[in-house]
Amino acid sequence: MTETLLERPDTQHAERTYEVRTFGCQMNVHDSERISGLLEDAGYVPAEQGQQADLVVFNTCAVRENADNRLYGNLGQLKPIKAKHKGMQIAVGGCLAQKDQNAVLEKAPWVDVVFGTHNIGSLPTLLQRSRHNAEASIEILESLETFPSTLPTKRESVHSGWVSISVGCNNTCTFCIVPSLRGKERDRRPREILAEVQALVDDGVVEVTLLGQNVNTYGVEFGDRQAFAKLLRACGDIEGLERVRFTSPHPASFTDDVIDAMAETPNVMPQLHMPLQSGSDRILKVMRRSYRGKKFLGILEKVRERIPHAAVTTDIIVGFPGETGEDFEDTMRVVEQSRFSSAFTFQYSPRPGTPAATMDEQIPKKIVQERFERLVALQDRISAEENAALIGTTQELLVTADSGSKGASTGRLSGRAADNRLVHFSVPDGADTPRPGDFVSVPITEAAGFHLVSDPQLEQYSLRRSRAGDAWDRWQADSCGVGTTQVEGAKPGAVSLGMPALRPAVGTTR
């Protein structure tokens, strides 16, 4: 490769605009922040809302079948647009690119670049190579080129940040293709993680979410089974860090020291997202989920004993191959007992490359749909009941920039409670309006199935200005961002953090 390709790939293409469209999980959302950071470091600028970007990057998911359909549907819509837009490029990355590889170009030959989960950092060079050679450029590595958190990052939010503590997965769940796409688990050293968290806090962040495919197995690579609990406690010592969250833990690896760390570390939030997948012990065994319903419920019992107001959310798959009516009723019983505040429910769809895809007894779509609707109705009832129980309580909210779809008509703002519940609130006449990143304490006056509402009187409303709100003000005043910071020990120029972005700059689909 020539030296000119390695310098600054896009200096000769001033003000090329970009858009990132994200499909999938929070790991993908965080990867898209890195993609945005890389592109801006290479001279691209975010496309304005409604503007056709010179570059569209798809960061894909391979977990569910509709992700394939959505990607190729989007690519098909862009084909005639690209034909009319001189110099436009399309790139496809993420899990689906890692899985399909050459198939992406076979199905959509107008794509310019295909890159995998292990070489996000190559994207600017691949784009330049494709332009220079006037042909598609594909590069899929089978192992990590560099740990993703050493790449430039452009955050979606001023007040909150994601921090990857590990990548990859050592489990062999029969429905999941992630291990083959992201590789075996690799853990970052605690010092590197804490340095990144401190860098974010120095930049105005007050809330951090620790990310890992199985976040509570952190430490397996360097042989410390209590490493995750220690990491949570260490985050509690970081001055200015007000909220710590994590996702997603595996029930089989959930240990009491983690529960103790959650309960005893004030800035670790009373929230737990832990995938159940099925309430049937027989189906869990076929899924190769190395826990059973009794263990799952036992973890919840311990968490609620130590953290009484904890909100628990989960993932559930309906219609796994061989699931009988009795198996499904087991799931319904566990859901009833678990009292989840909300649940992400999915109809099983076979994913090529997974053992479950070739199993006998695939469940007919009609039966899966009927079970799915029953489960959703049950969880909706439980969610509404759990939310209604909070009416009359006072909640401290971290104010967000997104006021929701009805914010303009209701005049309400939005925030997240400590347990991560969404609350839409009004500001009483005569009270100061908070900035995104500030905190307000308000009484819950109304509850719905998926959110809470607060319409406080003046004497019931309390505003606490924060460093994150100050960072929002600085960002508003200076569109270049609130500053950049570098993780200790990284190569000079390798890490660029703390560049907040308006949400439209990274199109996120969940």
Query: Can you say which residues are annotated as belonging to the binding site?
Result: 25, 61, 95, 169, 173, 176
Residue 257 to residues 139, 165, 288, 464, Cα–Cα distance (Å) = 42, 18, 25, 33
Tokens for 12? Answer: 């000769």
In terms of average pLDDT, the best of 10-14, 104-108, 275-279 is 275-279
Dihedral (C-alpha) 73, 74, 79, 81: value to the nearest 10 degrees?
140
The tokens 């898209």 sit on which residue? Answer: 32
Query: Can you say which residues are annotated as belonging to the binding site for [4Fe-4S] cluster?
Result: 25, 61, 95, 169, 173, 176
Q: What is the mean pLDDT of the chain?
A: 85
What pLDDT is recorded for position 158?
85
The H-assigned helical ranges of 236-364 are 256-264, 281-287, 293-306, 325-338
Nearest to residue 204, comparing CAs of 459, 477, 484? 484
- Contact at 8 Å (CB) between 262 and 215? no
Nearest to residue 444, comparing CAs of 395, 501, 503, 499? 395
What pLDDT is recorded for position 60?
82
- Contact at 8 Å (CB) between 82 and 11? no
What pLDDT is recorded for position 412?
95
Euclidean distance between CA atoms 42 and 449, whole angstroms: 44
What pLDDT is recorded for position 500?
32
Nearest to residue 91, comparing CAs of 39, 147, 168, 24? 39
416 burial (CB, 10 Å; 0-12 / 13-18 / 19+) is: buried
Euclidean distance between CA atoms 251 and 257, whole angstroms: 14
pLDDT band for 353, please (50, 70, 90 cuts).
confident
- Contact at 8 Å (CB) between 391 and 444? yes
Q: What angle do CA 251, 339, 405 make, to 5 degrees?
A: 100
149-177: pLDDT as tens digits: 555 555 668 899 888 898 888 888 998 87
Helix (H, G, I), strand (E, B) or coil at 485: strand
Say which range, 81-90, 327-336, 345-354, 371-380, has the weakest mean pLDDT. Answer: 345-354
Residue 492 above 50 pLDDT? Answer: no
Please give the share of the chain, as a percent, with pLDDT higher than 90: 56
The H-assigned helical ranges of 65-222 are 65-84, 95-100, 102-107, 123-133, 178-182, 190-202
Euclidean distance between CA atoms 486 and 507, whole angstroms: 26
Position 77, amino acid: Q
Residue 147 above 70 pLDDT? Answer: no
- What are the φ and ψ backbone dihedral angles of 388, each rounded to 5 degrees? -60, -30
Euclidean distance between CA atoms 442 and 458, whole angstroms: 10
232-252: pLDDT as tens digits: 999 999 999 999 999 989 999
The tokens 């084909």 sit on which residue? Answer: 79
23-77: pLDDT as tens digits: 876 677 777 888 888 888 888 999 988 889 999 999 887 666 666 778 888 999 9
343 burial (CB, 10 Å; 0-12 / 13-18 / 19+) is: buried
389-418: pLDDT as tens digits: 999 999 999 999 887 667 677 889 999 999
Residue predicted with more confidence, 148 or 498: 148
- What are the φ and ψ backbone dihedral angles of 249, each rounded to 5 degrees? -85, 155
Residue 7 above 50 pLDDT? Answer: no
